[in-house]
Chain A
Amino acid sequence: MTLVYPVQSLAAHPPRLSPAYKSTVKRSPTKPLIPMRHTLSELTGPVYGHETVREGDHDLTIHGKGEPIGERIIVHGHVLDEDGRGVPNTLVELWQANSCGRYVHVVDQHPAPLDPNFTGAGRAQTDAEGYYRFITIKPGAYPWGNHHNAWRPAHIHFSVFGHSFVSRLVTQMYFPGDPLFPFDPIFNSVPDEKARNRMISSFDLENTKPDWALCYRFNIVLRGRNATPMENK
């Protein structure tokens, strides 16, 4: 039996050619993608052992010799599929700028300080019900060269695997109420407002840790398999 992921789910994604985000113009295919049936090659995906995620990998504030500068936050949520089922034991990778909006990447040279105690990379595995949790520093907004006075809203990059190679997702988590939303062509590349809002975390007072860290909740929804499994040979 093979469960199949409907391609209709992909309609929520941004069009690959989104000219307001200029780099898409030369990096998006101009010929139509070829539809095909999912085979075992698409319906399976990598599985990890405990060696992939080490103790402490989820806490980006303890990777340096001292504590990083900035607002400590908890980011947690549920990785689930479109049918509402939690996705257990899946790998969640995260990378982000520091509190000043500077990435440790060598290409980022904008005039904001690096933090010797903050690399900005983390990794976690969802638990048996699909929940993950990170401790990090709230990233800053930063300028980029897309257009005059272009600034990215503060965001955290996420990479999630899910049940199969075709459920793979790379996205960005945003923070609620960011004044840069109306001006960001990457955020606005998602045409549907409801879909766009699924990329915005919610402030989670209930899970805030008093005297220690505010909390944001970010649920990640991966493609769902047909509610009625299709029987294949």
Chain B
Amino acid sequence: MSQAKPDGVTPSQTVGPYFAYGLTPSGKYDWNDAFNNNLVTPDTSGERIRVEGTVFDGDGVPVVDCMLEIWQADAQGRFSDPQDKRALPNSSFKGFGRIGTDAKGAYAFGTIKPGVVPDPDGKPQAPHIVLAVYARGMLLHLYSRIYFDGEAANAADPVLALVPADRRSTLIATRQPGNGNPVYRFDIHLQGDKETVFFDV
């Protein structure tokens, strides 16, 4: 198919305040969910975890019309995408989740702790989940990463190393006390003193 080379990408625009019925209906609208916040399938191996938090704006007000998407490797560090040439995934785990924040600005994902993924030099990265943040008032989504509390590999992670030391904690989900499957808290601050680190990718 011959096609003239375009003169650039289509610009991004905000998801606006009304995306829920199309992108995250979750039973509230007459439309089905293509994706939800539970990534775990019956044959998924690995440690079950819950990642939860609240999204805040620059005034510290919870953002109630925010959409979050996550993308991650399985417990063996492999992606459910043929572009990951290392091995075929061994389960129906897709590694992608989506949710809209609730009336308190809160969100949660049920997933598994991802394995180790190499960086472009083949060095191991600490376990992490890639996060994309969309909302009314955001003309272009933001990318961040969720790392895990108490993970020894964080110290040698090549991406965390790019982040000023005093801001690194904004990328590390904190393990919550309790029994059962681990719960990690990862609040997102779009702006302000506690502003989450976002990446220019």
Query: Which residue in B134, B136, B162, B190 is a CB contact (below 8 Å) of A34?
Result: B162
Chain B interface SS verdict (over half): loop
Is B81 part of the binding interface, using a Cβ–Cβ cutoff of 8 Å?
yes
Chain A residue at minimum C-beta to C-beta distance from B13: A172
Is B135 part of the binding interface, using a Cβ–Cβ cutoff of 8 Å?
yes
How far apart are the CA atoms of A91 and B5 in the complex, in Å?
Answer: 22
A195: chain B residues within 8 A (beta carbon): 8, 11
How far apart are the CA atoms of A25 and B9 in the complex, in Å?
Answer: 25
A52: chain B residues within 8 A (beta carbon): 34
Is A168 part of the binding interface, using a Cβ–Cβ cutoff of 8 Å?
yes
A41: chain B residues within 8 A (beta carbon): 71-73, 79, 117, 125, 128, 130, 145
Q: Mark A92-105, 1 if CB is under 8 A from B, else 0.
A: 01110100000111
Which of A8-16, A68-76, A175-183, A203-211 has 4 or more CB atoms under 8 Å from chain B? A8-16
Chain B residue at minimum C-beta to C-beta distance from A171: B13
Known: A46-B95, A46-B96. A222 touches B10 (CB 8 A): yes
Q: How many residues of B contact A (CB 8 A)?
A: 83
Is B25 part of the binding interface, using a Cβ–Cβ cutoff of 8 Å?
yes
Instruction: Find residues 21-76 in chain B having any chain A CB closer than 8 Å to their own CB.
Output: 21-23, 25, 28-32, 34, 57-59, 61, 63, 65, 69, 71-73
**Contact B18–A105 (Cβ < 8 Å):** yes
A95: chain B residues within 8 A (beta carbon): 18-19, 21-23
B121: chain A residues within 8 A (beta carbon): 232-233
**Contact B83–A43 (Cβ < 8 Å):** yes
Q: Mark A196-214, 1 if CB is under 8 A from B, else 0.
A: 1011000000000000000
Is A21 part of the binding interface, using a Cβ–Cβ cutoff of 8 Å?
yes
Is A2 part of the binding interface, using a Cβ–Cβ cutoff of 8 Å?
yes
**Contact A82–B8 (Cβ < 8 Å):** yes
Residue from the set A9, A10, A47, A86 with the largest chain B CB neighbour count within 10 Å: A47
- Shortest A45–chain B CB gap in Å is 6
B20: chain A residues within 8 A (beta carbon): 105
Query: Which residue in A32, A39, A44, A46 is a CB contact (below 8 Å) of B120?
Result: A39
Known: A7-B201, A186-B139, A233-B120. A82 touches B15 (CB 8 A): no
**A-B interface contact total, Cβ < 8 Å:** 271
B143: chain A residues within 8 A (beta carbon): 42, 166
**Contact A104–B15 (Cβ < 8 Å):** no
Chain A residue at minimum C-beta to C-beta distance from B83: A44
How far apart are the CA atoms of A178 and B8 in the complex, in Å?
Answer: 23
A13: chain B residues within 8 A (beta carbon): 9, 11-12, 139-140
Is A217 part of the binding interface, using a Cβ–Cβ cutoff of 8 Å?
no
Is B150 part of the binding interface, using a Cβ–Cβ cutoff of 8 Å?
no
- Shortest A132–chain B CB gap in Å is 13
How far apart are the CA atoms of A53 and B159 in the complex, in Å?
Answer: 36
**Contact B21–A104 (Cβ < 8 Å):** yes
Query: Can you list 8 A-B pairs with a CB-CB distance of less than 8 A?
Result: A16-B140, A26-B137, A82-B5, A97-B18, A108-B18, A119-B30, A129-B1, A168-B141
* Interface, chain A (partner B; CB < 8 A): 2, 7, 9-10, 12-16, 18, 21-48, 52-54, 63, 78, 80, 82-86, 91, 93-95, 97, 103-108, 119-123, 129-130, 157, 159, 163-166, 168-172, 186-187, 189-190, 194-196, 198-199, 219-223, 232-233
8 nearest A-B residue pairs (beta carbon): A95-B22, A23-B137, A46-B96, A27-B137, A33-B200, A26-B58, A105-B18, A121-B22
**Given A29-B195, A34-B200, A123-B34, 10 new contacts (CB under 8 A):** A13-B12, A24-B138, A33-B198, A42-B201, A95-B18, A105-B21, A120-B22, A159-B15, A219-B6, A233-B121
